[in-house]
Chain A
Amino acid sequence: MSKTIDLDLVRHIGKLSRIALSEQEVGTFAAQLAGILEYFGKLQELDTEGVEPMAHAVQLHNVLADDTPGESLTPEQALANAPDRDGDFFKVPKVIGDSQ
């Protein structure tokens, strides 16, 4: 649990998040993230023996909707904020295959 934040970990997280980080930023974020983790580390002092892990911050469950169609956007609306389009498709750089 007491994983330390080193520079490599910040670079790795940056890569996973598709964020280009300068070496200076890597250093800054490593220090900041370490500070955050340390602060939350205080929680480790609590005795959680016999306490169920919490899956959600509010005590709600079974918020379920009926399977009845509602309004969707038009393709025009859906594509309005897209940086680029090809007809009614979102246009993105060439990729291979599907993610699934």
Chain B
Amino acid sequence: MSETNETIKPVVGLEIHVELATATKMFCRCRNRFGDPPNTHVCPVCIGMPGVLPVMNRQAVEYAMKVGLALHCTVAGFTKWDRKSYYYPDLPKNYQISQYDLPLSADGFLEVPLPDGTTRKIRVRRAHLEEDAGKNIHDKASHTGVDLNRAGVPLLEIVSEPDMNAVEEVLAYARAMQRLVRWLGVSEANMQMGHMRFEPNINLHITRGGRTFKTPICEVKNLNSFRALERTVAYEIQRQHAEWQANPEGYSIDKVGKENRGYDDEAGVTVFQREKEEAHDYRYFPDPDLAPVLVSDEWRGGLAAQIGELPLARRARYMERYALSFKEADALTQDAPTGDLLDTAVTDGADAKRCANLLLGRGAAIANDRGYSIAEVGVTAGQLAELAKMLSGGEVNATAADKIFVKLAETGGSPRQVAEAEGLLAVSDAGQISAWVDQAIAANPKAVEDVRSGGKSQKKAFGFLMGQVMRLSGGAAAPAEVQRLLQQKLGS
């Protein structure tokens, strides 16, 4: 490539569909619940019976507004609902209620943390509310089964500008959006439950010999995992480049326009999809059953006030105020409750660094095993603070604290009670430790000699003796006391 001096710039925009975690659907009071038996959360409104009257869910509007505000969007003072007409078995009304020309939110941005520690602003064109469709079940050869439990579930469609130029940026943006909606408590954003779906738009701007070539924009629909998104974008970049190389004048946005492709998960490729010419003739018009929504400054302001500190601001605060590393601060700001745990423990007077170590050590390990967030492990801020204080005071050592943390997650209780019950309190009784120190000195004359002679192996030998005392104590001796007595007895 270098001999032709060619540069390739991928240009990617992303549509993200987020299912909102309301208790009920968008226009009826059927439950919004995943995984229940088919057609158990359905009513005349959501299965499209004639003569019904849909009523908008206030919570869905507020959740959508919160996302808009957190994305620095303009939240419209006036918004309305439109019908988007098309036929598919999972859409019982034969139209989807959506927002066409007056979306709830527009013109915002998301600050996206990149793997290298920098952040990038990705612009958000619009975020509008619409209803989800039902689910088609394809396991029968002769027909399709339709479950309408999902029909009418509130869906927020967030459309970015084509501001991403690499696979990593697309993934980082998608992950940042997942973190944001979880942070705001508006969606569980669980990929397995289909709470988030992606539709990337991808093309390449290729510069060669002073000319810029643009490949056709490809839209890939309905990706439901980060892996599928990553593979799709990576595949499209190389596929479009290869097609362009084979036909630089013909494979262009001017000649081909826009293409629709589907993702084949097993093969890890995208395949061309022929669209019916009338597919995008949706004949939008205002829904006569639904009244428009006026958003007052007061309503908007009240929701904005509930948003509070966002993930990146909190991460910066942890690095500055708690002196945590980027990695630590980032791990503790993946969701709001985990950071809240840390903040509350620190307010209780515990040392931030010790709390962070506990959360990111055993806490993260348990969370990882069970697929939880750290906060969901079940250790409370009060327990965390007490345990961190016991560590700081030398009442327990790190190994014991680890065991106590596991116990707290399993059975609860207070750290002190657990430590006492399990015999994990550090022994700082000088008489007892003194006996262990004497025993270690008697059993290791060579190490003792090395310490006393003060040579270059002194430090290592001292550490060895420390370890021997700790072993004799079964890990229970308070390290500070062991060190003090060893130094005293060896005269070092």
Contact = CB atoms under 8 A, between A and B. Distances in A.
A78 B31 contact: no
B135 A98 contact: yes
B262 to A, nearest CB: 8
A50 interface: no
B292 to A, nearest CB: 5
B133 interface: yes
Interface of B: 17, 22-24, 28-31, 37-44, 47, 55-61, 78, 80, 85-91, 102, 132-133, 135-138, 140-148, 197, 221-222, 262, 278, 281, 283, 286, 288, 290-294
A90 B39 contact: yes
Contact of A95 (B28, B78, B142, B144): B144
Contact of A100 (B17, B41, B43, B60): B17
A56 B114 CA distance: 45
20 contacts: A12-B281, A18-B87, A56-B80, A61-B293, A62-B293, A63-B56, A64-B56, A65-B29, A67-B59, A68-B23, A70-B29, A72-B42, A75-B42, A86-B143, A88-B37, A88-B39, A92-B143, A95-B144, A98-B133, A100-B221
A65 B88 CA distance: 28
Given A72-B42, A73-B47, A92-B89, 17 more contacts: A12-B278, A18-B87, A56-B292, A64-B293, A65-B55, A67-B60, A69-B23, A69-B29, A70-B28, A86-B145, A88-B40, A89-B39, A90-B145, A91-B144, A92-B143, A92-B144, A95-B144
A90 B4 CA distance: 58
B168 to A, nearest CB: 27
Contact of A71 (B43, B132, B140, B142): B43
A60 B292 CA distance: 7
Given A67-B58, A92-B146, A98-B133, A73 B44 contact: yes
A61 B58 contact: no
Given A73-B44, A86-B140, A99 B133 contact: yes
A5 interface: no
A87 B37 CA distance: 11
Those 9 A-B pairs whose CB atoms lie nearest each other, nearest first: A89-B145, A70-B29, A99-B88, A67-B59, A64-B58, A90-B146, A60-B291, A92-B89, A55-B80
A15 B87 CA distance: 11
Contacts of B222: 97-98, 100
A66 interface: yes
Contact of B38 (A63, A67, A89): A89
Contacts of A64: 55-58, 61, 293
Contacts of B142: 94
A3 B102 CA distance: 25
A95 B136 contact: yes
Contact of A97 (B37, B60, B91, B136): B136
A68 B132 contact: no
A79 interface: yes
A87 B132 CA distance: 23
B145 A57 contact: no
A5 to B, nearest CB: 15
B141 to A, nearest CB: 8
Contacts of A66: 58-59
Contacts of A75: 37-40, 42
A95 B22 CA distance: 30
Contacts of A79: 39
A96 interface: yes
Given A67-B24, A88-B39, A100-B17, A55 B292 contact: yes
Nearest to A13: B283
B55 A15 contact: no
Contacts of B59: 66-67
A94 B294 contact: no
Contacts of B286: 55-56
A67 B143 contact: no
Nearest to B276: A15
A96 B25 CA distance: 25
